[in-house]
Structure 1
């Protein structure tokens, strides 16, 4: 192969240095402007293409020659960005991950540039470790856990929490804690009787992550599902299940806002039933959505009792406008994290090294700076206002749904979610044809995805409140009131769009 001719200096990317600082700043400013303009675009998508076409456009061989950052930015702008989904658009009404809080964005940029590694405190993250500790203590305080005085923080095992990449990792760590609590030393000796590590979850509404976690940590599919009523545990059924499986249950998982309707379970009721059955069962609350209620005195009662749970998962990137990714697991007894700790004299042997309590994670980015900056800039009053505004928006959307005769709402509003369905004109809701209703809503959502103008979430859901037919599997759409840019015309606009598509379905044109 002939030698590759040298690339002119002007076409190369210069290493970052004092001499290239201004050039680098200009490039980063250009990137920031691209990103901010993208977030402010009204469209969810600028362009929609089939997956195979996106693949063919974007999957390429490694080029032989270098490119300047300007050239790479131009390629990104022309080929990748138009296909990106923009959750910060107020027309994206289906989820919560807007990632547009200004303080959090600022923290994310600074975390990238400072390049701290929280696996180690003494030389890798001398200040970042304690900023992360502060953010975790703030979350614990909101949930209702007790923090030791600052002067009594002696090791990472006094902090009582771990920053993670999201609810899936947090729930996995919770299941590891439950396993070690059930049979201490399993980390060292292995699993010998998988049947004694069963977990109890609410039927059909639990998050996939706790079930997957059991497989990832070597326990197999040891899941016991309990019937629900109104998207909450049927407490009599829970009591009966615990009695039938006495001695075999390591954890009961409750949802402070399930991942579909955001209904908050009766956390105190679940706690009382579980503690009466077996004091040693690990109680875990998935509050990835329910964290929102902790911000406000007006909403806090909805998660009453959560402070008595052994572990709680939260997801600031779902409810606080923090860019991906950022979750946390919080434990009532900080010392519980010793059960899943690791040690290495090479990199994590100092007292405050977070690497000791992060299974599966070695190098640990300063994700928590985004959270610290968001909470610091909002303060208690700002967090309360954020939560109350979002719940108010969801209630307003529910009223708009209720006012439209062809739409039907499937649950009361606990937090930010409103789940609803279009009912075709030829369906009598007093004797509903579930198959016909589901078909209409599937077709509407397929068209919505293809158009890319509006977005609502879509999934299977049991009719746990008997709105159409008790126990039937429905395929509704879901509105989420997470975006502070949502206004009345966005809510009426998406409903008018759904109704227009529904009319097309009725006419056989969809």
Structure 2
């Protein structure tokens, strides 16, 4: 069994095994003609359940053959231009190369003596990102597992910085369209059930600052503490960007921590043409970025950034076996001093490789392309009498609803849209997402693939309409 340990004696075995795996995946990517096969849970579960994990195959080729049957054949492939569903991007090759390197070396980014140069690379990328945001010379941050963890850590820091004698008095303000992790974080942080105050959004799904001002004033009047305002730069459903300069002004006036959730919109930090859409982000106290959404990185690659490095002390605990206090005075850089995690992958390497091969402009060009595609898709939807489109996109998301000419019952229209989404997924021809707007079911394109074209969008819209009409026709037959 020692022959399977990766070391100096098994380097050739490693090379052969990984090469065979890469060739299998490359062949699969090259021949994939749709984003999904349409396999069902009931069809796939018995194949996986039948595998006896206590009886190893003992051969890499045999395992890869088996993997083809239980995973590769039926995976959902985000690189396909008709995958239009969630915030999943196709990944760039330099980042995938970085993934291979970091997995093999297996550095742990909690302490210097487990990572050495990895620590310095991560710190350099944090500095690079905070400079792009404009947080100032005293800024800092740390890589995380994703936007949910980043939002949690940001609100932890905000809670600890808030001047309050009771957690029950703390309030967090965020738009109705913000990410669910804001409420989840408040619960995990032990704040009261009513601690998150939802702020109405305008027609473009952006936080209404007049309503925010009113709620902040009420908070003060009631003797409560405005712990934080969470503004969103790219909501999950609509890609909407809150009016950051105005929100920042209100935070300064009422003494609230400003957190900007830019998990989606962080791609604008590299944009060549649309950077101005997040003006005001430089005034944030903390920022969430998800490189694995709009920097075309493999999961996971994310970070939480802060204006004042000293606030990260609220996540610091010292253990004698790991990061004793003396290391601070000895100027030994331990990232665990800033992180909610202890053992942590060297995910920063993927972004480092990407920047060193493509540069920030290369990333920005790709993100600009999907924003342009969404603008063209919006024009298609706005001109198509079969569809109602909600808002003009601020990033690369389109939310719309099929509206049949002969049906007026909103509940029946809901069912037609739900059916169309499910039937499309089952066919494997395309994958789209769904959400609710005003209590009604809508469909959603999240466009993060520069290879997707307006022809792809038009074709998928025709497929959706066809499935919806099929449902409505069958429904009419049942009724008669």
The TM-score with structure 1 as length reference comes to 0.86
Which deviates more, 498-507 or 283-292?
A: 498-507
| SS of equivalent residue, structure 1 residue 456 | strand
1:53-202 alignment runs, 5 A limit: 53-59=43-49, 60-64=51-55, 67-121=58-112, 123-147=113-137, 160-183=140-163, 193-202=166-175
Question: Corresponding residue for 1:4?
Answer: none
- Residues 400-409 or 17-26, more deviating: 17-26
- 1:130, 1:483 → 2: CA distance? 32
Is the partner of 1:475 in helix, strand or coil? Answer: strand
| Aligned pairs (5 A) from 1:343-362 | 343-349=318-324, 350=327, 351-359=332-340, 361-362=341-342
Partners of 1:381 and 1:16 in 2: CA distance: 37
Correspondence for 2:178 among 191, 206, 222? 206
Residue in 2 that maps onto 1:487: 453
Q: 1:135 to 1:449 in 2, by over 3 A?
A: same
Output one character per residue of 1:254-313: Cα deviation in whole Å (capped at 9) or x when no partner.
11111100011101111222322x12x111110011112222252111111111011010
Residue 464 of structure 1: aligned partner? none
In 2, Cα distance between equivalents of 1:18 and 1:118: 23
Helix, strand or coil at the partner of 1:476: strand
SS of 1:412's equivalent?
Answer: coil
Q: What is aligned with 2:14? A: 24
Alpha-carbon contact 2:388-2:401 (below 8 Å) kept:
yes
For 2:444, the equivalent position in structure 1 comes to 478
Whether the 8 Å CA contact 1:136–1:162 is kept in 2: the answer is yes
Q: Secondary structure at the match of 1:33?
A: helix
Which whole-Å deviations, capped at 9, do the CAs of 1:295-345 have from their partners, x for residues lacking one?
Answer: 225211111111101101010101111011111101111221112212123
1:118 partner SS = coil
* In the alignment, structure 1 residue 438 sits paired with structure 2 residue 414: yes
- Are 1:449 and 2:425 an aligned pair? yes
8 Å CA contact 2:85, 2:433 repeated in 1? yes
Aligned to 2:233: 256
Distance 1:15 1:495, change over 3 A: same
Distance 1:421 1:375 in 2: 39
Partner in structure 1 of residue 436 of structure 2: 460
Structure 1 position 42, deviation (Å): 2.5
Q: Verify the 8 A CA contact 2:145 2:302 in the aligned structure 1.
A: yes
Partner Cα separation in structure 2 for residue 244 and residue 505 of structure 1: 49
CA distance in 2, matches of 1:54, 1:180: 47
Tell me the CA shift for residue 18 of structure 1. Answer: 4.4
Post-superposition Cα deviations, 1:208-247, rounded to whole Å, max 9, x if no partner, equal 1111112222224321112221211222211111111113
Q: Is the 8 A contact 2:141 2:304 kept in 1?
A: yes
- For the aligned residues, what is the CA RMSD? 2.1
Moved more, 434-443 or 237-246: 434-443
Paired with 2:386 and 2:439, the residues of 1 have a C-alpha distance of 19
2:380 is aligned, of 400, 420, 426, to: 400
May I ask how many residue pairs the two structures share in their alignment? Answer: 463
Residue 36 of structure 2 corresponds to which residue in structure 1?
Answer: 45
CA distance in 1, matches of 2:409, 2:354: 47
In structure 1, C-alpha distance between the alignment counterparts of 2:95 and 2:305, rounded to whole Å: 21
Work out which of the residue numbers 273, 283, 287 in structure 1 matches 2:250: 273
Distance 2:4 2:303 in 1: 38
- Whether the 8 Å CA contact 2:424–2:431 is kept in 1: the answer is yes
Query: Does residue 240 of structure 1 match 2:208?
Result: no
Contact 1:42 1:90 in 2 (8 A): no
Q: Which residue of 1 aligns with 2:23?
A: 33
Determine the C-alpha separation between the residues in 1 that align with 2:469 and 2:100: 46
The answer to whether structure 1 residue 376 and structure 2 residue 356 are counterparts is: yes
Measure the CA separation in 1 of the matches of 2:84 and 2:20.
29
Is the CA contact (8 Å cut-off) linking 1:143 and 1:294 kept in structure 2? yes
1:227 aligns with 2:203: no
- Structure 2 distance, partners of 1:64, 1:423, is 54
| SS state at 2:114 partner | coil
Distance 1:310 1:128 in 2: 26
Does the 8 A contact of 2:420 with 2:465 survive in 1? no
Q: Whole-Å Cα distance in 1 between the matches of residues 383 and 212 of structure 2?
A: 37
Unaligned runs of 5+ in 1: 1-8, 149-158, 185-191, 462-471
Q: Return the offset for 1:452.
A: 2.0
State how far apart, in whole Å, the 2-side matches of 1:488 and 1:242 are: 43
The change in CA–CA distance for 1:220 and 1:33 in structure 2 (over 3 A counts) is farther
Q: Quick check: 2:36–2:75 contact (8 Å CA) kept in 1?
A: yes
Do the aligned residues in 1 keep the contact of 2:292 with 2:299 (CA within 8 Å)? yes
| 1:86-124 alpha-carbon deviations (Å, 9 max, x no partner) | 111111012232342011111111111111111111x21
User: 1-side partners of 2:43 and 2:117: how far apart?
Assistant: 46
SS at match of 2:82: coil
Partner residue, 2:189: 217
What SS is found at the alignment partner of 1:508? helix
